[in-house]
Every structure is written in C-alpha cells, then in structure tokens.
Amino acid sequence: MGAPKQAEGLFGERDLRRLRIFVLGTRGFPGVQGGVEKHGEELYPRLAQLGYEITVFTRTPYIPKEKRHAEWRGVKFFHLWCPKQKYLEAISHTFLGVLIGGLKSPDLLHIHAIGPSLMVPLAKLFGMRVIVTNHGPDYMRQKWGGLSKMILKLGEFSGAKFCDKMIVISKGIKELVEKKYGRQDLELIFNGVNLPEVLPPGETLSKYGLTPKQYAFTASRFVPEKGLHDLIQAYLKLKDPPFKLAIAGDADHETEYSRALKKLGKEKEGIVLTGFISGRLLAELFSNAGLFVLPSYYEGLPIALLEALSYGLPVLVSDIPANREVPLADFRFFPVGDIEKLAQGMAGLLKMGISHGEKMRNQTFLINNYDWDIIAKKTHQIYKSIIENN
C-alpha cells in the first residue's frame, strides 16, 4: 500500500490538515464595541473561508452568556474569563490565553494591540510563531496614567522586538515603529470598510426624535481622547441650532468623564445619546445623518470615519495625523480642540451637505484602499510566509 494521498491545502499539496490560528487582544465579536473588535469581526470569517481554523479568545465580561456561541461564520471562540477592570483585563486575559496556547500549540498566534503584545516574549518561550498587529500607540490615549503608559510602551517594545512579523494599520504607525525600533520588515495593511446598504428612516429615528439630514452624528466610545466633550460644548455654543446632535456609544468602564458626558447630554436640549448600538440600528443613524463629526485627539486608524464615508456622508474631522491620512478636502478638517471652529464647521457643513462628485471620490478611495477581501488575502500571505519559513 502506498503513502496516503495528501489533501490539497492552503499552501498546496504539502498540507495534511487545516492550520490553526489563535487570536488574542480583542474582547470578542460580533457586536462588541471597539475598533479591534470590528477589525476581527470582518477579518477572521474571511480567513476561515480561506481554510484556516481560527480560534478567537473572547473576554467573557463582554459576551453575555446567551451569546457565547462555540462558532460564528466559521470562526471558533474560546470564551476566557478576565476581570472587567481597565488596568488588568487585557494583560491578564492575554497571559491566560498564551498559557493555553502553550498547551495547545497552534500553528500561529496573532496578537492585536500593544498592551497584549507585552506577552509576546512569553509566547516565544513556548515556541509559538507570533504575529502582532499594532493598532497604534495606545499610551497616547488620555485615559491612561503614568504607570499604564509605561507598561503600554513596554508592550510596544516587546511586540516590535520579539514577534515574527508585525502588521501596522496606518502609515503614521509604520513610521513611528520604524523610527523607534529600527524594524524595516513591517507590513502595512489598513483597516477596512464595507460599502453598506443605505437604510431609509424608520423606527430608530422615530425612537430618538430625529429628522433625516437634520442631525450631526458620531459613533464613539466615551473616553477623553475621542473629544466628545469638545463636540458637546461646540453644539451648545450654537444659538437655537436647526439640527440635533446624536451620539452613539458608551464607556467600556464607567468613569467620572463618561458620567459627566451622560449627565450633560441628558440635561441639554437637542442632544441625543443612544448608548452603544450596532447592526441595523446603527446603520439607520449613519444612513440618515446630515453630517458625521469625528473630534478625536487620537486615532490609530479611524474606522468610524471610513464607515461614514462609505455611507456617502459629509464629514468634519479633527486635523490629527491619522485623520489626515484620509484625503479629504481641507475644509473638512478643523484644528483639534478648537471648539469655536468645530461649532462653525458643524453649522456650515451640515447645511452645505456633500456634492455627488465628492461622494463618488470618497467611495472610490475606500474601494481601492480599504477592501476587507484584499486585506484578508494580504494577511493570508503573511501567515503563509511565517509558517513556511519557520
């Protein structure tokens, strides 16, 4: 009897089984608030379709028991406990995940964000191949204190120095990591966005008392670096504005800052706080907004901005480097933190709307640069190169 015939696999006839990929650094998905979570929700089902056996380690505080499915769109889940405490959850969850990886020996471990990257050296001690996706210098976020910033910087260092391959999601992050750590083999793969179905006004707008094209809109976590305090103050500067301000989002961890935002939003007329929403509820708000506003002080790569452009919305965004990577007209930017210019921009640009030509240019840019299918294929090529060469 001859040798068994090898099955056709991801890398040709040499494969005898599906390659197992473990994923750490995300709270989980679908429908969990956060940029990394949205990234994983779009990327990993596509990689599963390419033939990988993907196991994503979720953080159980963010996944209700009734939603702790074993599998979703071909992606397997390992629902792993962690404390819901902003200083401990990411590092403790990643530590436990790496220990499990050491026992189960996946073909590849993919870690997202610089905080969890602190565990890359431990994963290498277990003999794992490790890819890191650097979503940005999180120590620049205003919510972190001195010790937390130091730990995040150490995580950035650990990821850059010890991983087998690093993916970065923006040109600015690529330049930063190259300059700080001298690593020249970085792979630039942007976040992606889908061109969505534009929904007519319906129950969601009715629920919040919103009129199509007569509200400025943003979707964001309630943390200081997102600049929501500036956005609310700018709206309050306007005298009898003929439009409302709708904010979708919430805090992962309730803080004095998030409580103050909610108090202000409830007290002032014209401001609508929806809390965290997703799916068709969020799509309806995007579809019918008159203006999308992103007043952030810091972004890795602004997925919410890409989503707004995918709906064909006029936008107004802060002039930080990450937002400047999106080629918008100059009048679409305002100086970060300038409440007066933000107020003027909201009033003027909501009234102006967006031309057909600008809308088409934006969507063509998205199709050419932020296609999730292309992103998945590029990630597959990186997986292939690491597994074949190690």
pLDDT in 10s for each residue of the chain, 390 residues: 333 333 345 555 445 347 999 999 999 999 898 889 999 999 999 999 999 999 999 999 999 999 999 999 999 999 999 998 878 899 999 999 999 999 999 999 999 999 999 999 999 999 999 999 999 888 877 677 788 899 999 999 999 999 999 999 999 999 999 999 999 999 999 988 988 999 999 999 999 999 999 999 999 999 999 999 999 999 999 999 999 999 999 988 788 999 999 998 887 889 999 999 989 999 999 999 999 999 999 887 788 999 999 999 999 999 999 899 999 999 999 999 999 999 999 999 999 999 999 999 999 999 988 999 999 999 999 999 998 887
Nearest to 129 by CA among 111, 116, 114, 115: 111
pLDDT at 18: 79
* Alpha-carbon separation of residue 249 from 34, 252, 277, 282, 285 (angstroms): 10, 9, 7, 10, 12
What span, in angstroms and rounded, lies between the C-alpha atoms of 169 and 230? 27
pTM over 0.85: no
Query: What are the φ and ψ backbone dihedral angles of 219, each rounded to 5 degrees?
Result: -130, 120
Query: What are the φ and ψ backbone dihedral angles of 41, each rounded to 5 degrees?
Result: -60, -35
pLDDT at 11: 53
Sign of the alpha-carbon torsion through 125, 126, 129, 131: negative
- Please give the domain boundaries of the chain with CATH numbers for all domains: 20-192+371-389 (3.40.50.2000), 203-369 (3.40.50.2000)
- Per-residue b/e over 160-185, b at no fewer than 16 CB within 10 Å? bebbbbbbbbbebbbebbeeeeebee
